[in-house]
Amino acid sequence: MSEILVLVDHADGAVRKPALELLTLARRLGAPSAVVLGAGDAAAAIAAKAAEFGAEKVYVADGEEFATRLVVPKVDALTQIAKAAGAAAVLVTSGGEGKEVAARTALRLGSGIITDAVDVEAGADGPVATQSVFAASYQVKSAVTTGAPVITVKPNSVAPEAAPAAGAVENVTVAFTGNAATVTSRTPRVSTGRPELTEAAIVVSGGRGVGAADGFSVVEDLADALGAAVGASRAAVDAGWYPHTNQVGQTGKQVSPQLYIAAGISGAIQHRAGMQTSKTIVAVNKDPEAPIFELVDYGVVGDLFNVLPQLTDQVKAG
């Protein structure tokens, strides 16, 4: 079977959920091979996890360059491994860094690239990717016609499924090009205890309707009861009510959770572009004419400060 490379995202010694989703998708296309970069002492545990989800091979490369340089070391490694393995495709998690790594890798391989896929399947002439386009108003199927396709896939596009495989580890020595920006310092992000926004199965977002920064407390209470991430509209972020890192939309983060709850969000096209691929959408808004109601699965016309606390109580009551 053709070898399908999966770049494994990891943090704090653990495999991130989107990487397991990619391994699940890779099994549709051929024989999955995981690529684990810069994991240090955690490499063995990460390799074992990749094997649990179908990786028949695990390529492991280490070096201080992965920690001290941006993007390029990963591109060096992924390109080298793809060429040596004769990979039929390369899958990468969609995100700021992921898409840059994918684009640079595709350029070096002389291959085409598809970004922000929401599904991938085997076609007669290679992988076929499904994308949501024009602010998620349409879905299209795309295929690369030149070289081994490099495809970035949005988190939550598929449920990860375990399928234990051999997971034979192959250590790789990377010839780094050295042409990269250097990391001079790092400031750890303060943990909220909530899931990562782009990876969360449930997202609760607040918009202009929360009225002020303090208004987000009801949004956070519901999110915590559901084990969800917290998002915000551009209007709320621009008003200084919530951090920019939590903005959902065309100029923020794109999310595709199983459940998206929009509270006090009108539903401008900019926001819809970042969440319209969510599997189930619920909106709470006191304006019955709000555009958000055009795309929801369930809508509640009411004051979010009355509706959300009641919902939170019901969730806590089990």
Is 251 assigned a ligand-binding role in the annotation?
A: yes
Is 139 assigned a ligand-binding role in the annotation?
A: no
Is 104 assigned a ligand-binding role in the annotation?
A: no
33 close to 58: Cβ distance less than 8 angstroms: yes
| pLDDT, tens digit (0-9, with 9 covering 90-100), for 96-111 | 899 999 999 999 999 9
| pLDDT, tens digit (0-9, with 9 covering 90-100), for 153-179 | 999 999 999 999 999 999 999 999 977
Q: What is the Cα–Cα distance from 257 to 202, expressed in whole angstroms?
A: 5
Average pLDDT score over residue span 72-77 = 97
User: Same domain, yes or no, for 25 and 137?
Assistant: yes
272 close to 295: Cβ distance less than 8 angstroms: yes
| pLDDT, tens digit (0-9, with 9 covering 90-100), for 10-49 | 998 999 999 999 999 999 999 999 999 999 999 999 999 9
Whether the CA torsion 284, 290, 292, 297 is positive or negative: it is positive
Q: How confident is the model at residue 135 (pLDDT cuts 50, 70, 90)?
A: low
User: Same domain, yes or no, for 107 and 220?
Assistant: no
In a domain, 238, yes or no: yes
Q: At what angle do helices 17-29 and 43-52 cross, to 10 degrees?
A: 50
Say how many domains are in the chain: 2
| pLDDT, tens digit (0-9, with 9 covering 90-100), for 269-292 | 889 989 988 999 999 999 999 999
CATH number at residue 61: 3.40.50.620
In a domain, 146, yes or no: yes
- Looking at residue 190, what is its pLDDT? 78
What separation in angstroms does the CA of 14 have from each of 108, 168, 261, 311?
A: 29, 19, 28, 33
H/E stretch holding 205 reads strand 202-206
257 close to 200: Cβ distance less than 8 angstroms: yes
Is 306 assigned a ligand-binding role in the annotation?
A: no
Average pLDDT score over residue span 79-94 = 97
User: Same domain, yes or no, for 164 and 214?
Assistant: no
Is 187 assigned a ligand-binding role in the annotation?
A: no
- Looking at residue 63, what is its pLDDT? 92
| pLDDT, tens digit (0-9, with 9 covering 90-100), for 105-134 | 999 999 999 999 999 999 999 999 999 887
In a domain, 244, yes or no: yes
Give every strand in the sheet of 57-61, ordered side by side: 138-142, 126-133, 113-123, 150-153, 89-93, 3-7, 31-37, 57-61, 168-171
H/E stretch holding 53 reads none
Quick one: tokens of 46?
């990460």
Is 250 assigned a ligand-binding role in the annotation?
A: yes
Phi, psi of 26 (to 5 degrees): -60, -30
State the chain's mean pLDDT as an integer.
95
CATH number at residue 215: 3.40.50.1220
User: Same domain, yes or no, for 151 and 85?
Assistant: yes
| pLDDT, tens digit (0-9, with 9 covering 90-100), for 235-274 | 999 999 999 999 999 899 999 999 999 999 999 988 998 9
Whether the CA torsion 92, 252, 233, 267 is positive or negative: it is negative
Is 249 assigned a ligand-binding role in the annotation?
A: yes
Is 271 assigned a ligand-binding role in the annotation?
A: yes
Is 256 assigned a ligand-binding role in the annotation?
A: no
- Looking at residue 124, what is its pLDDT? 93
Is 310 assigned a ligand-binding role in the annotation?
A: no
User: Same domain, yes or no, for 167 and 266?
Assistant: no
Is 54 assigned a ligand-binding role in the annotation?
A: no
Of 262, 258, 253, 273, the C-alpha closest to 308 is 262
User: Same domain, yes or no, for 33 and 133?
Assistant: yes
269 close to 254: Cβ distance less than 8 angstroms: no
Q: What is the domain extent for residue 38?
A: 3-171
Would you put residue 97 in left (φ > 0), alpha (ψ -120 to 50) or beta?
A: alpha
Is 186 assigned a ligand-binding role in the annotation?
A: no
Q: What is the Cα–Cα distance from 111 to 128, expressed in whole angstroms?
A: 15
**pLDDT at residue 189 greater than cutoff 80:** no
